[in-house]
Amino acid sequence: MMVGFIGLGIMGKPMAKNLLKANVEVMGYDLNQEAVKEICECGGKTGSLKEIGENCDVIFTILPTGAIVQDVLFGKDGVTTNIKKGSVICDLSSVTPGDAKTCYSKCKEIGVGFVDSPVSGGEPKAIDGTLSFMAGGDQEIFDKLLPYFDIMGGSALLVGEIGSGNITKLANQIIVNNTIAIVSEAFVMATKAGADPEKVYQAIRGGLAGSAVLDAKIPMIVERNFKPGGKISINHKDIKNVLATAHEVDAPVPFTAQLFEIMQTLKINNQMNDDHCAIVNYFERLANVEVK
């Protein structure tokens, strides 16, 4: 069975490579031809969006925005132009629940299954195949995707109906990004007060303040390593989606609203391509100190 994989960026490329390592036939697509070439060198094939729709029974997409997902799937010469009935599309992108519901409805009209299943874990877990998949959709379609989730991830859960995957991802992004901001604020304060940030980290990581975010981001911050595993631009987009969804359902998110403005400041400072641990730079500028 041929699997289509559309979007070979920081997350998509290692995910597609893990499928290939497991002897899954993969047909890849990306605007970045270097990424496509790399997949082909690993044993994959390449094809147009239309060719992926015609030849692949299972298709994964992981793309920057919901608008791009819909254009890739339903636009001129898109994936669904001549797709086979009974095929399955799984969107791994972080979009809004409304985007997912639109794709589901359009796919259902043409006899194609659709699941929204954004992922968590960033580039490191994409590389080692331990991502967390949070899915929304029909149980029957989820079950067809489960063997591929098992190759690319460490866990996969069907949360509920279509859109539930992205609701879960938005909740995840609130927690992850606000935690990075609070960790940044705390370590800037500790550094400004004269404490060694590495020793502060070692002292608190085993207690209640310890977390996966703390362990992933503080080593990067103290080493001044802002190479992206999760770009600020992607998280900025996700937090914008959080605010839109929260406003739609009348759920106040005051901390996350402030976080969005912090990210706006980083955008003005041309830091959209940095890892989101660079949120610390906002607090460092306020205190005129570097955590290192």
In this structure, the strands spanning 119-120 and 131-136 are: antiparallel
| Sequence-distant (≥ 6) Cβ neighbours of residue 21 within 8 angstroms | none
Question: Catalytic pick from 13, 17, 125, 169?
Answer: 169
Residue 32, Cβ neighbours under 10 Å: how many?
Answer: 12
CB 44 within 8 A of CB 26: yes
Report the distance separating Cα 125 and Cα 264, nearest Å.
Answer: 27
Give burial (CB, 10 Å; 0-12/13-18/19+) of 44: buried
169 is catalytic: yes
Q: Helices (DSSP H) in 22-62: which residue ranges? A: 33-41, 49-55
Which residues are the active-site residues?
Answer: 169
